[in-house]
Amino acid sequence: MDSGTPSSLFQDATNVKSFKPDINVSISVGGWTFFDNNTGTQHIHGQIAGDYGFDGLDIDWENPGAGDRGGSPEDTVNYVLLLKALQETLDASGSKLGLTFTAPSSYWYLRWVDLPNMIKYADWINLMSYDIHGVWSSRDTIGSIVQSHTYLMEIELAVDLFWRVNIPPEKIVMGFGFYGRSFTLAYKFCTNPVCLSKGASSPGPYSDTGGILAYYEIMAVLNGALLGFY
């Protein structure tokens, strides 16, 4: 959400509990396009989550410390301090909100994430086991080929990084995307693995974003109702 998105969407999200009261609904702060690591905002995050009936607050900082994401060496310590400040604020207010954080599955970005100290202040970790590959992977040394954005073998390698620093399995929740990454093939008749790609696909009719198709658009392709995609 951005500043132009109505806050009523928060209430719409938590209203699903009227149909299934025991469901747990959390709000995630951050994401790929924005994150503010200012520890002075912890009371605001907690208040928003509580005011709209959320059960938990998730911190999604993508990605601390990484130079290609505008990170700095201080981010590693600051992330721990942010979670600590949030947890202390929630405890002091008597809030029962859960606190979690989202972590990447890439070693490249995990290098600056202090998992052992962060988990001290979080209920669990939401693991991004998706978007492992996409159009951006054309910069990989293996070349511009079509690769799955989620892949069990690479997910297994990712969680092994968590086991190495003694993160308990019960503290990890796997995240899966209800969408797929889409490409324009260099040779449209290629049906084998490692087909060459020349970039993102055309936008889908509803998601309207090149290189990505929503779950319902993928189902329409499989059912033959959406032409131009394979």
Cα-flanking dihedrals φ and ψ of residue 196, to 5°? -75, 145
* Distance (Å, whole) CA 150 – CA 142: 17
**pLDDT tens track for 150-196:** 778 888 988 999 999 999 999 999 998 899 888 888 888 888 888 88
Q: What DSSP string runs through 64-116?
A: TT-GGGT--TTHHHHHHHHHHHHHHHHHHHT---EEEEEEES-HHHHTT--HH
Q: Taking 80 as the threshold, does the pLDDT of residue 135 lie above it?
A: no
Return all residues near 111 (Cβ < 8 A) that are at least 6 apart: 65
**pLDDT tens track for 112-130:** 999 999 999 999 999 999 8
Give all domains of the chain, ordered by start, each with its CATH number: 1-128 (3.20.20.80)
Amino acid symbol at 99: L
Q: Roughly how many angstroms between the first and final C-alpha of the chain, as a whole number?
A: 31
Q: Taking 60 as the threshold, does the pLDDT of residue 78 lie above it?
A: yes
Q: Taking 70 as the threshold, does the pLDDT of residue 44 lie above it?
A: no
